[in-house]
Structure formats: structure tokens, C-alpha cells
Structure 1
């Protein structure tokens, strides 16, 4: 069951979106200037996942200035904490702000580079992704 949820979540079915189309070097240079001191990732092969949650959970998130949306990226081009690329995938916490291809969680900024996909997923699918 969990394998099917993860397979569907990672499929390319969804709304295609365009992230930052500039070169990786220019994206990283701009990210350093814009995030001064705030941790950030520059990611490719990303999914914006709108999590279907019960209305009481959505209300609680909204009261905290958040939305039930996360970023999952399979390629991390740059991790500001490591000052370089990072192996493996990364997932954000819930969305605080989205401005074009800049996704902000409570603690970290994600710069979405290149094409990506936005889709609705269930909470069990997201949890299955974290427990392979």
C-alpha cells in the first residue's frame, strides 16, 4: 500500500510549473544575496505538494500563518548550510510564503530551479514518503 502511495506521489502527473530558468551559478549567487543569514536550498526536480488535511488542521495551520503545502525535491544543487551540493532528496516543512519560484517555510527558503510539478496528495502519501 505505501509503495503505491509513494509511486503515485512521485509520478509526473500534476500541473507543470516553471521555476527559475537561469543558470545554476546565477541562481546561487542571487540566493546568497537575497537570503543573508537565512538557510536556503537551490533545488531541481521538485514537486509542490498541496496536502489534503482535515479542516481543523488547515485552520490551525492558517492561524499560524502557514498553508498545507510542502516542497519535495530529489536534487539539491546547493545547501547553504553545507556550502555546496547535498546528496539525496529534501522535503520542506509547511509553506509560509510562495513568491514565484521562491518557497519559504518557517525556517528555510527553497529556490525552485527549472521545471517542476504541483499536485494534491493525501497526508498518508506524504507520510509514506518519509517511511520507505
Structure 2
């Protein structure tokens, strides 16, 4: 995250009621139970983007089995794949499922939302303009 307009964007949106305060042991047990063969990534200081695009585009995404949502986190706590260093940032691919609480699944990873975060609706240009 380099420029101040990106930082300002991440502080916009509605404060979300999602996120967990579970311990690392509790999170590992939850992920192992719900997604036994999938790596997970713990993130905090997160933002869920709901894609703001024409309905036809959103319908195509849903028809492919995905949801028009992305996750951005300014702070990775742990990445089971070893792709993102602790303290680094991550932007997910499209959402496969979201449990409405703290588990945001993509095709390859389950992102565990730790603590409070935000949600907002944004265009793909805005979402992909971040980092």
C-alpha cells in the first residue's frame, strides 16, 4: 500500500459484524473440520468488497459457482501456503463461499477473518487498483 488514497479507501465502508476472536487453536480446529484439505490464511485489518458491476456480469460470476466478492487484507497473520509473509497484504480471488461469520473461501484458500473489518461495494477498477 503506497499512496494515501489507497489507505483512505480501506478506512471507508461499513464496519462489519463479521470476524472472529477465536484463538489460533480454535481457528485451526474450525478450518480442519469445515475444510479438511484446504490451506488457510489468517488475516486482520480486512475489507470485503462486494463487486459493483452490471447484473449480467454478476450473473455470469454466480453461474460459474462463485460469488462477486473479494477480500483484501492489509495484514496477513499466517498463510498456510507460505505465499504471503506475516504483516504483508493479500487480495483474494473471487469468493467461492462465505459463512457469514469469519470463513471466506476461494478456490484454493480459506481466509479466516480475525477481529473487526469493513465491507464496501466497489467497482472492479477500484478493487484491482489496490496494490
TM-score tier (shorter): 0.7 to 0.9
1-structure distance, mates of 2:78, 2:121: 27
Rounded Cα–Cα distance in structure 1 between residues aligned with 2:5 and 2:54: 19
The corresponding residue for 1:109 is 110
TM-score when normalising by structure 1: 0.81
Coordinate RMSD, CA, aligned? 2.4
Any stretches of 5+ residues in structure 2 without a counterpart?
none
Q: CA deviation at 1:36?
A: 2.8
Q: CA deviation at 1:8?
A: 4.4
Task: Map 1:115-130; keep pairs closer than 5 Å.
Answer: 115-130=116-131
Unaligned stretches of 5+ residues in structure 1: none
Q: Give yes or no for contact 2:42–2:78 (8 Å, CA) kept in 1.
A: yes
Cα distance, 1:46 vs. partner?
A: 0.7
What TM-score, normalized to structure 2? Answer: 0.82
